[in-house]
Structure 1
Amino acid sequence: LVYGVLLYIGAAAFYRYFFHPLRHYPGPFMAAITQGYQAYYNIIKIGGLVYQLDKLHEIYGPVVRIGPNTLHFNYREAYHDIYTYGSTLVKDREFYHRLVPYATESSVGFVDPALAKTRRSNLAPMFSRQAVAAVEHLVQQKVDKLLRILQEHHNSLESSVDMGAACRSLTMDVITSYCFGEFVDTLDAPGFDHPFNQSLMSSFRIFWDLQHFYSLVPILLANHLPRKLAMLFLPLFGGYIDLKFAFENQVDDILRDPRKLSSVDHDTIYRHLLDEEPLPREALIQEVFVLMSAG
């Protein structure tokens, strides 16, 4: 068995370096034969690949092979060729499903252009200039509240505050209110250290681990998997699980009684999604994750 595994690894490396369709593109030898090159910089160097890319382009030029199936570009024309309107290029399923493993059927996670377009069409009216202007008062209320808290509790040279956490709390309260019509009062948490913020940041920290150990995701996302058991695989995964349960409860509450959304004095994303062609429960939960992560 061991010899078989070694033979397979050797054969795969040989093919990737000498016969792969990308073999003519320059780049490090290890990057050409294994994803381990990226894993080393992303995990061991804690996201250091982005700095390594600059060095690679200085050595190899504007196009570098940074993985067996991956090219990296650093010139402007490539962006417009890839992301131009009407492009027939399809999103990389592997990358996007690892980018948002908890939201593979969301507006970000869809790799099928038709499905992605339909979901964007569902959400677009809620992010138009007119729709955003209609909830300007909501954003202003939260900004005023943040300023009031800063003035009351951090208005001296001796005090300090984590403005990153403060801004996350602000966006969290705005987004949850725009989604559900109610907010979680993260701004009221001492030092802006609300459990929701802790969970969200914790879920971000496992990004690189999930990119390179994606086979663990179906196990960790299983609804029946106890939190303590999931924590044995990835200690930081607890934050994601906490958020997942919270959003599931929120969506279930709305699905049980959609009239709750009608009592709010402003339009909400979920009222719009339910008034149109209703999305499945899981799709609603996944869109919350995407909106929170983007915020």
Structure 2
Amino acid sequence: MAVLQTLLSSTVTNLILSGAAAGVIIHQILRRVFIDLYPLTTVTIVIGTHWVLLSAIHRYGEYNLWEANQRAFSLVCSTLASLATNILVYRAFFHRLRNFPGPFGARLSKFWAVWQTIKSKARYYQVTQRLHQEYGDYVRTADPAAIQLVHGLKATVKKGPFYAQLTDSVHTTDDPIFHKERRKIWDFAMKESLVDYGPIVEEFTTVLHAQIDKSLGQPVSANALTKHYSYDVISTLGFGNSTRFLEGESTEVAKRVFGAIERGVVAIGLLLHVPYLLTVMETFTYHGPMGGFNLWAAEEVQRRKKVGNPRPDLLGHLLKNTKEDAIGRELLDNEARMIIGAGSDPAASSLAVLLILLAENPEYQVKLREEIDQAFENNTYACGKHLPLLDGIINESLRLYPSVIFQNQRLTPPEGLTIGSVYIPGDTIICLGPYQQGRDKRNFVDPDEFIPERWTTQPELILNRTGFFPFSLGHYNCVGKTVAMMELRSVVARTVKDYDISFPAGVKFDGKEFFSRIIDHFSTGVPRQDVVFTKRHA
């Protein structure tokens, strides 16, 4: 007690020095403890500490309330200032990664990346490309030798802290055991219903063409058309209930909800560099940036539980294989959001890019028709069927413009990871993205050029096929890849068969300039572009 009274009665200078010493100690503790998931606890500790100090100083230091508050405030602020200074000095000069090259500002804080995202207008993938050109492979991880070590089936890394900030689902969990068990359920659901999904996809392609027929010869937004298509498809495959965007009959609720998705991914795209802020937003705001979407998804789960014998859908399988308890209900709500979010935006962006690339390269429409015309039987098309040139065009589009540009975080094992001759310490976040690998000269010849033949008649243009992973690889690959390919094949094949795709008259399309404006907000944001559909006459 005497020591406490001496401290509380000491001069303000001594209190500040004590706070500085406390900051040093706290920094050493925080280097070994992960607190990012507990913002409310952290704020409570800071406020609680101030209140305890205020009470103690007022009681034992014989100061009035105002003076006690000043002294408590000085002690807390000096501790926080010391903590911040210690963190910055450590990161700048003593961090275990200090010998890796990179911008000095990036050493100090991830807010450097946030600022670069803002400056680049949400095109951080372009910032990363410039960093690799200036600093080499290991400013982020760009070495093709790392692909199998980071994303392969035998990889020893696990998901990074970004995923720890998100709600648990088969996609977002950072628990490998939970993921393995839950993924089995998803894979079985996909396999069991795949034969039913094809006809549903084709139905919506027919609806899409009905809408195209209403605006023949007129400019229409490729972006809006493909978004409405993907929303309708995934809501039906996921919940057995179409949002009916294509017919223009969607409810105001659905429009508001899907608008919230678009705004939400923008927020996520900015905050993915500082993922703990996602937790802060979830904690201190009403359900975070996608609150309306979260509530809608939960209501859809409840609606689906009451439906008897619907058309085959994914949620039906998940309901049968999820416990009816609090944890199970939360898991279903989380995965319902994942079905819509991961199943709509990426597919829509890929379809928009494909339509634009075909308009830019009409010679491939001609080449593709020869293959497609032979594939139709009784005037019907099976979207699960592989066609060499069709899949080549789709693959080349995904190589150049993957539907998710975000570099998935992985965490090296405690013993570290050696890639070639480079050793990366344990528990280090590494990022290896499909955009960078798809454009690496060590993986592809003329990597910036659209050459679908590299997937068909010119395989020598592919130097390292593992550099192509738009759906990720290994245990965490995209569970909906097969369905996504069905959508892409169906729309591209049937649309090219029935229509000529071009740009509006008078439009001088500059592909390099246009695609340089693609935005990275977790999923790929394709700039608006009008196209014109003209009925093809055989």
What secondary structure, in the 3-state scheme, does the structure 1 residue paired with 2:158 have? coil
Match of 1:67 in 2: none
Match of 1:17 in 2: 92
Residue identity opposite 1:242 in structure 2: G
Residue identity opposite 2:316 in structure 1: R
Match of 1:263 in 2: 309
> CA 1:63 to 1:220, structure 2 compared with 1: closer, same or farther past 3 Å?
closer
What secondary structure, in the 3-state scheme, does the structure 2 residue paired with 1:15 have? helix
Find 1:91's aligned residue among 159, 164, 182: 159
1:294 has 2:294 as partner: no
Match of 1:172 in 2: 231
Greater C-alpha radius of gyration: 2
Once the two structures are superposed, residues 88-127 of structure 1 have per-residue CA deviations (whole angstroms, 9 ceiling, x without a partner) of 21111x22245xx3xx211111101101111111111232
1:182 has 2:241 as partner: yes
Separation (CA, whole Å) in 2 of partners of 1:226 and 1:37: 28
Residue identity opposite 1:249 in structure 2: E
Match of 1:285 in 2: 333
Find 1:132's aligned residue among 190, 194, 214: 194
Determine if contact 1:173/1:185 at 8 Å carries over to the other structure: yes
CA-CA distance at 1:163 after TM superposition? 1.6
Find 2:134's aligned residue among 32, 56, 59: 59
Match of 1:68 in 2: none
Separation (CA, whole Å) in 1 of partners of 2:274 and 2:241: 36
**Would you tell me which structure has more helix in proportion to its own residues?**
1
Separation (CA, whole Å) in 1 of partners of 2:101 and 2:113: 16
Match of 2:142 in 1: 74
Aligned counterparts, 1:92-241, within 5 A: 92=160, 94-98=161-165, 101=166, 104-128=167-191, 131-152=193-214, 154-156=215-217, 159-189=218-248, 194-211=255-272, 214-215=275-276, 217-218=278-279, 220-221=281-282, 237=289, 240-241=290-291
What secondary structure, in the 3-state scheme, does the structure 1 residue paired with 2:224 have? helix
> CA 1:271 to 1:278, structure 2 compared with 1: closer, same or farther past 3 Å?
farther
Structure 2: tracts of 5 or more residues without a match: 1-73, 344-538
> CA 1:219 to 1:29, structure 2 compared with 1: closer, same or farther past 3 Å?
closer
CA RMSD of aligned residues (A): 2.7
Once the two structures are superposed, residues 139-175 of structure 1 have per-residue CA deviations (whole angstroms, 9 ceiling, x without a partner) of 11111001101112x113xx32222122121111111
TM-score, structure 1 as length reference:
0.79
What secondary structure, in the 3-state scheme, does the structure 2 residue paired with 1:161 have? strand
Separation (CA, whole Å) in 2 of partners of 1:273 and 1:57: 42
Determine if contact 1:107/1:120 at 8 Å carries over to the other structure: yes
Determine if contact 2:238/2:340 at 8 Å carries over to the other structure: no
CA-CA distance at 1:181 after TM superposition? 1.4
What secondary structure, in the 3-state scheme, does the structure 2 residue paired with 1:188 have? coil
Match of 2:40 in 1: none
> CA 1:221 to 1:10, structure 2 compared with 1: closer, same or farther past 3 Å?
closer
CA-CA distance at 1:75 after TM superposition? 1.9
Match of 1:251 in 2: 301
TM-score, structure 2 as length reference:
0.45
**Relative contact order, CA 8 A, sep 6+: which one is greater?**
2
Residue identity opposite 2:149 in structure 1: D
> CA 1:174 to 1:76, structure 2 compared with 1: closer, same or farther past 3 Å?
same
Separation (CA, whole Å) in 2 of partners of 1:216 and 1:61: 30
Separation (CA, whole Å) in 1 of partners of 2:231 and 2:100: 44
Separation (CA, whole Å) in 2 of partners of 1:190 and 1:183: 10
CA-CA distance at 1:133 after TM superposition? 2.7
Structure 1: tracts of 5 or more residues without a match: 65-71, 231-236
Determine if contact 1:169/1:197 at 8 Å carries over to the other structure: no
Separation (CA, whole Å) in 1 of partners of 2:152 and 2:115: 32
Match of 2:81 in 1: 6
CA-CA distance at 1:215 after TM superposition? 5.0
Determine if contact 1:165/1:197 at 8 Å carries over to the other structure: no
What secondary structure, in the 3-state scheme, does the structure 1 residue paired with 2:301 have? helix
> CA 1:195 to 1:246, structure 2 compared with 1: closer, same or farther past 3 Å?
same
Determine if contact 1:47/1:208 at 8 Å carries over to the other structure: yes
Separation (CA, whole Å) in 2 of partners of 1:225 and 1:50: 29
What secondary structure, in the 3-state scheme, does the structure 2 residue paired with 1:16 have? helix
Separation (CA, whole Å) in 2 of partners of 1:245 and 1:20: 42
Identity across the alignment (%): 20
CA-CA distance at 1:199 after TM superposition? 2.3
Separation (CA, whole Å) in 1 of partners of 2:268 and 2:286: 21
